[in-house]
Amino acid sequence: MCGIVGMRCFKGRRADENLLRKMAAQLPHRGPDGEGFQIYQSVGFGHTRLSIIDLAGSPQPMSSASGPFHITFNGEIFNYQALRADLVREGVPLRSHGDTEVLLEILRRDGVPGLNKLNGQFAFASYDEVSDRLMIARDRLGILPLYYHVGADFIAFASEVKALLPAVGAPVLDEAAVEEYLTYRSVPPPRTLFKGIRKLAPGTVLHINADGSMREEVYWALPARHQGQMLTGETAIQAVDAKLQEAVALRLVADVPVGAYLSGGLDSSLTVALMKKLRQGAEVQTFAAGFSDPRFDELPFARQVSEAVGTVHHEVMVGSQDFIDFWEKLSWHRDGPMSEPADIAIHKIASQARSQVKVLLSGEGSDEIFGGYPKYAFEPRLAPLAALPNFLRVPMARCGERLLPESKNRARQAGRALAARSTAERMQTWFGPFTWYERAALRSGYGKDNAPDQWERAEGDHLRRMLYVDCHTWLTDNLLERGDRMSMAASIENRPPFLDHELVELAFRIDSSLKIKGGSGKWLVKEIARKHLPANIVDRKKVGFKVPLDEWFRGGLKDYVHDLLLGNDSFVSSYFDRRVITRLLADHTRGRRNEELRLWTLMGLEVWHRAFFKTTA
């Protein structure tokens, strides 16, 4: 993958190459192998390159051999070889052997409809000088990022927020987005935590005209209703198995070494097993992280998978000191608060892997399309309580949640979800760090119902609607941003095979009874995994990639957390009600309640604010 920057000026202004260079200078981690810039009067493109395919032959920005059509492109088109063969048969002149020129020529010939031919992860800008048409676009699932800023007489766009700051000026906090962060641990598009900087939604093209007018076009969307025949039984298992193997095979396409994250969980283990099978015995390198707390240390399981499959395995340890050492640096890379404690572990894995490979496959997406989280199986049990009227259910759930001890954390989370005021709000509360009433206590005016509209848009059974919501929120704006930023901070490309768009479309045609069965999630994925992995690996209890923050916040990170959240220069304690934060810390430190998620969320906001605003305050 790479980094892209660009701009379009209005009112007769010429694009500023010096500004583009300043923007690209913020992205050396995304493109350590080279850079390029081109000015086309009012439009300018810049590019920093991480060479993965056609290492020496596809410099960017790139122009067509057939006319003044240009592109700056971040990502990979995994089926580019078949598409290239089609172009050659049709007589299209090609000067390289990579995927960039293939994408360029498809866009030149077909425009937006050409995106339907692509299997890949991408963000790009293309410009046709003849028609004076500029467009920027993002891949279907939002695996790769794209941001933009509209100024008085220009628009600028880039792969990361920090690359827009030379064009924007001093960053300004978007206060309206802060409550969204407390609700989701991330900020849904189009808003970001930076005022005036917007995030392009997945599956979307933004057309930018010479007069400054803009138009969004959605070229792909996750099916909100059932499409095609519902798949059940062995037919569904075989179809998903075949499509997953095809997705993994496509993501092995590279002119550099490809390895894999291996947590020891089902999704990464199955991905690695398929990699080994598809490489027909050739070497596969795997990378894992461990923690000192035996409750969450999955290194023994990752070793077990490595031995069973036959990989060259590497390990890295993560401790509480790593959070002190890396938190601010990685918040800068993230362009926002670190939403998941595992972010630091993923970055440490990627940093270690960089000496061996340039690409890592990951298991992201499987939980959200095949029903892997405990809440999916637990939610139906709450139906009788969820049916109670709000005036009974909400106060009862709030009281029960408050009285439950730390040892009943899962039941406590269910109580928090039941205290939501609507079904849609309950969906966001399952993963949300702060409930509506906790947000209201933190700051005056907070606590509004800002549940996403995906729940109302989705059709089908309860599970299908839950998955639809999580794919649009938790997956896209949290996990995929994490996967991209933490990997690219180490100049590593992350490829998630489970998010092949054809596999995702197929998953939403699978009967929900094959996803949750016997109170267990991802039943269908487990049945596929039995064909490729030993049963003891497939059937072991899901732990998840967890960090022992509960103990670290009472031990090695205790003083660090108190200093940042309650210090005289703390943004968080000045922006929110200091008494609420003090009570959270006291309850957690004394073991009354496990408040690690809420403390983590506030710490993430504080460290991010220091990374971007402390020097400009």
Q: Is residue 439, in this structure, part of any structural domain at all?
A: no
For residue 544, the model assigns a pLDDT of 65
SS3 494: strand
Let me know: does 451 contact 425? Beta carbons within 8 Å.
Answer: yes
CA distance 495 to 505: 18
CA distance 231 to 393: 37
Q: Is residue 7, in this structure, part of any structural domain at all?
A: yes
Mean pLDDT of 488-511: 98
Let me know: does 264 contact 298? Beta carbons within 8 Å.
Answer: yes
515-567 pLDDT tens trace: 999 888 999 999 999 999 999 999 987 766 678 899 999 999 999 999 999 99
- What DSSP string runs through 160-229? SGGGGHHHH-S--B-HHHHHHHHHHSS--TT--SBTTEEEPPTTEEEEE-TTS-EEEEE-----SS--SP
224-245 pLDDT tens trace: 998 888 999 999 999 999 999 9
Q: Is there a cis peptide before residue 68, judged by omega within 30 degrees of 0? A: no
Mean pLDDT of 579-604: 94
The first and second tokens of residue 127, run together, are 């410009």
Regarding whether 606 and 510 lie in a shared domain, the answer is no
DSSP letter at 138 equals E
Number of Cβ within 10 Å of residue 280's Cβ equals 6
For residue 229, the model assigns a pLDDT of 85
246-302 pLDDT tens trace: 999 999 999 999 999 999 999 999 999 999 999 998 999 999 999 877 776 789 999
Mean pLDDT of the chain: 95
Mean pLDDT of 424-447: 95
Residue listed under structure tokens 């425009």: 111
- In this predicted structure, the answer to whether residue 69 has a pLDDT above a threshold of 90 is yes
Regarding whether 198 and 109 lie in a shared domain, the answer is yes
Q: Is residue 414, in this structure, part of any structural domain at all?
A: no
Q: Are strands 154-158 and 285-291 parallel, antiparallel or unpaired?
A: unpaired
Cα atoms found within 13 Å of the Cα of residue 353, Cβ hemisphere only: 35
The CATH number of residue 474's host domain is 3.40.50.620
SS3 484: helix
Regarding whether 313 and 241 lie in a shared domain, the answer is yes
Regarding whether 612 and 531 lie in a shared domain, the answer is no
In the chain, pLDDT over 90 holds for what percent of residues?
90
Regarding whether 603 and 486 lie in a shared domain, the answer is no
Q: Is residue 405, in this structure, part of any structural domain at all?
A: no
Q: Is residue 239, in this structure, part of any structural domain at all?
A: yes
324-379 pLDDT tens trace: 999 999 999 999 999 888 999 999 999 999 999 999 999 999 999 999 999 999 99
- In this predicted structure, the answer to whether residue 67 has a pLDDT above a threshold of 50 is yes
Q: Is residue 178, in this structure, part of any structural domain at all?
A: yes
Q: Is there a cis peptide before residue 384, judged by omega within 30 degrees of 0? A: no
Number of helices (H) and strands (E), helices first, in the chain? 28, 17
Regarding whether 499 and 356 lie in a shared domain, the answer is yes
19-32 pLDDT tens trace: 999 999 999 999 99
For residue 175, the model assigns a pLDDT of 95
Mean pLDDT of 479-501: 97
For residue 31, the model assigns a pLDDT of 96
The first and second tokens of residue 593, run together, are 């309640």
Q: Choose the final residue of a domain: 218, 253, 268.
A: 218
Regarding whether 149 and 37 lie in a shared domain, the answer is yes
For residue 405, the model assigns a pLDDT of 81
Mean pLDDT of 458-480: 96
38-56 pLDDT tens trace: 999 999 999 999 999 999 8
Regarding whether 552 and 478 lie in a shared domain, the answer is no
Main-chain dihedrals φ then ψ at residue 26, nearest 5 degrees: -85, 0
- In this predicted structure, the answer to whether residue 122 has a pLDDT above a threshold of 60 is yes
Regarding whether 610 and 470 lie in a shared domain, the answer is no
Q: Choose the final residue of a domain: 218, 250, 285.
A: 218
Regarding whether 194 and 104 lie in a shared domain, the answer is yes
Main-chain dihedrals φ then ψ at residue 297, nearest 5 degrees: -80, 110
What is the tally of structural domains in the chain? 3
Regarding whether 507 and 558 lie in a shared domain, the answer is no
State which residues form the domain around 523: 233-318+340-372+465-538
Q: Are strands 204-208 and 69-77 parallel, antiparallel or unpaired?
A: unpaired
| Residues in a beta bridge with 37 | 46
The CATH number of residue 160's host domain is 3.60.20.10
Q: Is residue 349, in this structure, part of any structural domain at all?
A: yes
For residue 543, the model assigns a pLDDT of 67
Main-chain dihedrals φ then ψ at residue 155, nearest 5 degrees: -130, 140
- In this predicted structure, the answer to whether residue 616 has a pLDDT above a threshold of 80 is no
- In this predicted structure, the answer to whether residue 617 has a pLDDT above a threshold of 60 is no
Q: Is residue 177, in this structure, part of any structural domain at all?
A: yes
Under the banding of pLDDT at 50, 70 and 90, the label for residue 615 is: low
For residue 344, the model assigns a pLDDT of 94
Regarding whether 90 and 30 lie in a shared domain, the answer is yes
CA distance 468 to 457: 9
Q: Choose the final residue of a domain: 538, 556, 574.
A: 538
